Chain A
Amino acid sequence: MDFLVFQYPMITIQACLDGLLLGILFALIAYGMALQWGVMNIINIAQGDLVILGGYIAYFMYLYGIHPAWGVIVSPIIMYFVGIAIYKLVINKVVDRDLFISILATFGISILFMQLMNFAFGADVVLANSGYGTTMLFDNNVVLPNSKIFSAFISIVFAICLVVYMKRSKLGRAIRATAQNARAAKILGVDTEKVYAATFGINAALCGVAGALISITFTIHPYMGLPYTIRSFMIVIVAGLGNLPGVAMSGMGLGIFEEFADYILGTEFRIGSVFLLLVLILVYRRFKLSRKREYLK
C-alpha cells in the first residue's frame, strides 16, 4: 500500500485520464447489457466472455499480420452471428421463464466459453500490439498510450451510430417497441422473435467491438470474462435502463474508481474492489428503495 497518489498530483491526473478512457469502454459493454436487459429481461452472465471472444478475434488477426485495429470491423460481424447462434440454441428457450433460470443458463454458457477459449487460445495473457505509440502530456509526467485514445474514440463512434440506428431505422423502432410492451408490439405485427434475435446479436456485436479494443489497449485472458459482466451490470443498475448519458457517466465513474483502487489498495485487490463496490451499490439501493416503501406505508 502506498499513497503516492495523494502526494503527486500528476498521478491523480494520470489515474483520472486512464479511468475516463477505460470507463468509455465499460460503458459500451454496459450499453449492450442494458439493451438486452430492457428488451428481453435477461441478464447475460456470458457478456464478459463474449467480450473476451471478440478480443481473441482481433488478436488472431494480429497474429496473422493484419493490423488489429481492423478487428473493430471484423470482430462485431463475426460476433453478431455468434450472438444469433447463442440466441437460437439457448436463450430463446429461457426468454419468458423465471429470471434465475436465465442467469443460470448464461452462467453455463459462460463456463463453456471460458473453457473452449482456454483450449483454443491457451491460458496465456495476450495482447495485440497496435504500435500506436504514446502521447506525453504535462511535461512528460502523464503518459497516455494512443491506443487508449483510439479505443475511446471508436467506442464513442459506435455508441453514436447505435443510438442513431435505434432512433431512425425500422428494426430500431421495432426493438424499442418490444422493450416498451412485447405483447402490444406482437399484436401490431412486430416479429418479436426476430427482434429478440437481433437484439442479442447487436449486443454480441457491441461486445465484439469492445473486446477488439480491449485486446489492443489492455490484455485478454480466457478467464477474465466475469469481471466485465459484473462491471456492466453495475453500470446498468447505477444508470438505470434506457438512460444512455447515465450509462456513459457511470461507466467513466467506475473506470476512475478502479484506477484509484489500483493505486491505493494495490493491483491484487483491483477485481475484489470492483465486486465489493457492486455489493455496496446494491445494498445502498436496497436501503433507498426500502425507504420509498415506507413512504407508501
Chain B
Amino acid sequence: MNKNSWILYIGILIFGLFAPFIFPAFKVQLSILCVLIVLATTWNIQGGEMGYNTFGNILFYGLGMYLCASVQVGMFFPLAEWTESGGEKTFVHTPSQFFQGMAAGLVVAAVVPTIVAGLIGYAILGLRGHYFAICTLGLGVAAGEISGGIEIIGAGQGFTTPPFPNIGGLEARGEFFYFLSFGALVLTFIAVRAIYTTRFRLILNAIRDNEDKAEAMGIETMKYKITGWMISAFFCGLAGGIMGGLVGYIDSTDVAFDGREMGVFMVLMAILGGKGTLWGPIIGATLFHFFKEGFWTFFLGWQYVALGVLIVVIVIYFPEGLMGWLREKYPERFGEVVDEADRKAQVELK
C-alpha cells in the first residue's frame, strides 16, 4: 500500500465521520448507502471473484434483520406478545436495554447467518451456473414466503422493531444508525481488502475461471467456496440487522426477503460498478443510490418501470461496469503491462 492510497483512505474515513454533520438532512440516506455498499461488496465476493452469481444473499440479509429484532425484543419482553400488539406502546425499552439488545442482536444477526451459510453451503454451492442462480433465487423467495407464515415473528402483519429510546430525539437516532452502518462499512471494507491481498482471492479467481482445472491443481474448491459464502453471510446479516433497526418495521416479503428489490439491487450495484474489483461495487452502489433516489422522487409510481429498464440497459450495454470500462481505457493505471505495439495494432484493427 503506497502513500497516496493511505491519504485516500484517511480522507474517506474523515469524510465519513463528519458526513452526518455536513449533510444533517441526509443522515438516513447516508446510512442506507453504507448498507448498500456493504451488500454490493459482499455480493462481489461471490458474483465477481468466485463467479457464482447468487440471488440468495438476500436470505442472510433478511435472516439478520429478523434475528436482530427478535433478540432485541426477546431479551427483555415476551416476543409473541410484542408482535401481537403490533408496535403498540405496551412494552418500552429503556435506553440501556435498547443498546444492550441491539449489541446482542447484531452479534446474533451476524453469527447465525454465517452458520446457516456454512450448513447449506455444501449442498447449494455444488450447483453450477444458472442452476445455482435459480436455486438461490428460489431460496430467497421461499424464505420470504415461509417467514410470512410464522406467527411469532409477525406473520403477514409485520414486525415493528423497538423504537429508539427517547434521548436526543430524531437527531440522535439518525446519528446512532449512521455510525452503526458506517462502522459496518469500515469493518467490511477492511475485511474484504485484507482478503483480497491474500492467496484466498487468487483461489476464488481460479474457481471463477475454471473450477475443474482449479480442482485438478489440488485446490479443495468446496472448502474455499463455503468460506467465501460464510464471509458474505456474516456481513449481509450484520447489514440486515442494522437496516431492520433503521427502517423500524420488518415485513417478510417487502423489507426482509425482498428479492425483487434488495436482492436484485445488490447484483446491479456490483455490475454497475464493475464486478471483480475492490472499488467497483462501492462506486456502483453510490451511483445506484443516487439514481434510485432520483427515480423514487421524480418518477413516483413509475419507479419499478424505470428500474426494469435500467436493469435491462445496464446488463445489455454495460455488463463490464464502470471499472471494466476504465480498465479497458487506461490499463496502465490498473497495473497491467501493455505492449505498445500490440495496442497500436488493436487500435488500427478497430
Taking Cβ atoms with an 8 Å cutoff, the residues of A that contact B are: 43, 90, 93-94, 97-101, 103-105, 107-116, 119, 226, 230, 233, 237, 266, 268-269, 271-272, 275-276, 278-279, 282-283, 285-287, 290
In the bound complex, how far is the Cα of B315 from the Cα of A23, in angstroms? 34
Residues of A within 8 A of B127 (CB): 282-283, 286
Min CB distance A211 to B, Å, is 19
Residues of B within 8 A of A287 (CB): 123, 126
Contact between A282 and B312 (Cβ–Cβ < 8 Å)? no
Give B313's nearest chain A residue, CB to CB.
Answer: A108
Contact between B149 and A272 (Cβ–Cβ < 8 Å)? yes
Partner of A278 from the list B134, B149, B309 (CB cut-off 8 Å) is: B134
Interface membership of B28, Cβ < 8 A: no
Contact between A116 and B135 (Cβ–Cβ < 8 Å)? no
Contact between A43 and B134 (Cβ–Cβ < 8 Å)? yes
Interface membership of B219, Cβ < 8 A: no
Contact between B142 and A233 (Cβ–Cβ < 8 Å)? no
* Contacts known (A112-B305, A115-B308); A286 close to B123, Cβ less than 8 A: yes
* Contacts known (A278-B135, A286-B123, A290-B126); A111 close to B141, Cβ less than 8 A: no
Contact between A271 and B312 (Cβ–Cβ < 8 Å)? no
Residues of B within 8 A of A103 (CB): 53, 130, 133-134
Min CB distance B142 to A, Å, is 3
Contact between A278 and B123 (Cβ–Cβ < 8 Å)? no
Residues of B within 8 A of A110 (CB): 308
Interface membership of B1, Cβ < 8 A: no
Contact between A230 and B141 (Cβ–Cβ < 8 Å)? yes
Residues of A within 8 A of B312 (CB): 90, 105, 108-109, 112
Q: Using a Cβ–Cβ cut-off of 8 Å, how many residues does chain B contribute to the interface with A?
A: 40
Contact residues of B between 91 and 141, Cβ < 8 Å to A = 123-124, 126-127, 129-131, 133-135, 137-139, 141
Interface membership of B19, Cβ < 8 A: no
Contact between A99 and B129 (Cβ–Cβ < 8 Å)? yes
Residues of B within 8 A of A283 (CB): 123-124, 127, 135
Min CB distance B226 to A, Å, is 14
Known contacts A90-B316, A114-B304, A276-B138, then 9 further A-B pairs from the complex at CB < 8 Å, ordered by chain A residue: A43-B130, A103-B133, A107-B264, A112-B308, A268-B148, A268-B149, A276-B142, A279-B138, A286-B126
* Contacts known (A43-B130, A90-B316, A275-B138); A107 close to B145, Cβ less than 8 A: no
Residues of B within 8 A of A279 (CB): 124, 135, 138-139, 142
Residues of A within 8 A of B310 (CB): 108
Interface membership of B260, Cβ < 8 A: yes
Residues of A within 8 A of B163 (CB): none
Can you list 9 A-B pairs with a CB-CB distance of less than 8 A?
A101-B315, A104-B264, A104-B267, A104-B315, A114-B304, A272-B145, A278-B142, A283-B127, A286-B131
Min CB distance B216 to A, Å, is 11
Interface membership of B287, Cβ < 8 A: no
Residues of A within 8 A of B304 (CB): 111-112, 114-115
Interface membership of B192, Cβ < 8 A: no
Interface membership of B79, Cβ < 8 A: no
* Contacts known (A100-B53, A114-B304, A275-B139); A108 close to B315, Cβ less than 8 A: yes
Interface membership of B307, Cβ < 8 A: yes
Partner of B130 from the list A100, A111, A115, A286 (CB cut-off 8 Å) is: A100
Interface membership of B319, Cβ < 8 A: yes
Min CB distance A108 to B, Å, is 3
In the bound complex, how far is the Cα of B307 from the Cα of A115, in angstroms? 10
Contact between B149 and A269 (Cβ–Cβ < 8 Å)? yes
Contact between A93 and B142 (Cβ–Cβ < 8 Å)? no
Contact between B142 and A94 (Cβ–Cβ < 8 Å)? no
The 0/1 profile, CB within 8 Å of A marked 1, for residues 305-328 of chain B is 101111110011001000000000
